[in-house]
């Protein structure tokens, strides 16, 4: 196994099945398929050497190629279902590159198509931060406006039970008395090849927090409409680059 120090590959997952929004990864938003926004953002990053799309669909692969992503393989059906994990497709990519190119990147930058509003310079900043850390991974997060310390489960008997193991009175305290809570989002995750091979896990035991603004993550039809509006009003370097494909 040969891992090239400093080499960075973006990996963009786009399976063809979607239980919430049919074919959401290729739904047209402002004239372009959803996944094109992540491809172009990755291509505009100075720190990313190659942009790899992992998909189970030849149709999706052709679309990805049009926007400049490489699709050197199709992902097997058995790791392309709704219960398939991120670890499965990353390990599949590692195995493919090790077998077919005898060379692996040191870092994988995971960009989900469902979180398309990114700035390439911010992705580059995340890569720089992670390269200068000793953590197993980097995960993007944003501050939540909710307070999970005040949330409950409902028992089989119908009683409320605090999810943090605190008392009912403690859960009724002012929101400001609790520490801030951050929610992982799909802006950018970065992982190390060596860590994945060594531990068999994707994220390991330590993660650098990369704080972003609140990120839209497409899971439902109405969120596609919101995204359409946001792109029309915000524009940005990725939208400008996509105009070259019109």
Q: What is the pLDDT of residues 207-246, one digit of tens each?
A: 999 999 998 888 888 888 888 888 877 778 999 999 999 8
CA distance 75 to 223: 27
Query: What does the domain layout of the chain look like in residue ranges?
Result: 3-141+182-245, 145-180
Would you state the structure tokens that stand for residue 231, as one six-digit string?
Answer: 């792109």
**Angle, helices 34-43/58-66, rounded to nearest 10 degrees:** 50
**Contact criterion met (CB below 8 Å) for 92 and 74:** no
50-73 pLDDT tens trace = 999 999 999 999 999 999 999 999
Q: Is the torsion defined by CA of 129, 34, 86, 164 positive or negative?
A: positive
Q: The pTM is what? A: 0.92
Residue 1: pLDDT above 70? no
Q: Does domain 3-141+182-245 have CATH number 3.40.50.360?
A: no
Q: What is the pLDDT of residue 155?
A: 94
Q: What is the separation of C-alpha 206 from the centre of its chain, rounded to a whole number of angstroms?
A: 18
Instruction: Tally Cβ neighbours within 10 Å of residue 77.
Output: 12
Alpha helices (H) along the chain:
34-43, 58-66, 86-100, 120-131, 168-171, 193-199, 221-234, 237-242
Give the chain's radius of gyration (CA, Å).
20
Would you state the structure tokens that stand for residue 158, as one six-digit string?
Answer: 């119908």
CA distance 111 to 95: 20
Which one-letter DSSP state was computed for residue 31?
A: T
65-116 pLDDT tens trace = 999 999 999 999 899 988 899 999 999 999 999 999 999 999 999 999 999 9
168-217 pLDDT tens trace = 998 888 888 888 999 999 999 999 999 999 999 999 999 999 999 998 88
How far the first Cα of the chain sits from its last, in Å, is: 42
Q: Which of 24-28, 128-132, 225-229 has the lowest mean pLDDT?
A: 225-229
**Mind giving me the DSSP string for 164-189?**
TS--HHHHTS-GGGSPP-EEEEEEEE
Would you state the structure tokens that stand for residue 17, as one six-digit string?
Answer: 């099945």
CA distance 133 to 1: 23
């Amino acid at each position: 196994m040969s891992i090239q120090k400093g080499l960075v590959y973006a990996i963009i997952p786009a399976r063809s099945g979607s239980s919430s929004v049919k074919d959401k990864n290729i739904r047209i938003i402002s004239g372009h398929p959803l996944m094109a926004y992540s491809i172009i953002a990755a291509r505009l990053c100075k720190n990313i050497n190659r942009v790899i799309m992992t998909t189970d669909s030849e149709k999706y692969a052709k679309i990805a190629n049009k926007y400049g992503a490489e699709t050197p393989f199709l992902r097997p059906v058995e790791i392309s279902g709704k219960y398939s994990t991120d670890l499965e497709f990353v390990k599949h990519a590692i195995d493919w590159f090790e077998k077919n190119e005898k060379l692996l990147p040191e870092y994988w930058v995971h960009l989900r198509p469902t979180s398309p509003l990114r700035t390439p310079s911010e992705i580059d900043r995340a890569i720089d931060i992670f390269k200068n850390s000793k953590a197993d991974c980097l995960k993007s997060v944003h501050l939540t406006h909710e307070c999970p310390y005040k949330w409950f489960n409902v028992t089989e008997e119908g009683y409320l039970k605090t999810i943090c193991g605190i008392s009912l009175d403690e859960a009724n305290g002012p929101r400001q008395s609790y520490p801030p809570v951050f929610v992982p989002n799909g802006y950018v995750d970065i992982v190390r090849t060596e860590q994945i091979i060594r531990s068999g896990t994707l994220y390991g035991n330590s993660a650098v927090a990369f704080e972003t603004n609140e990120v839209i993550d497409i899971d439902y039809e109405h969120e596609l409409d919101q995204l359409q509006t946001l792109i029309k009003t915000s524009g940005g370097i990725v939208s400008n680059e996509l105009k070259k494909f019109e």
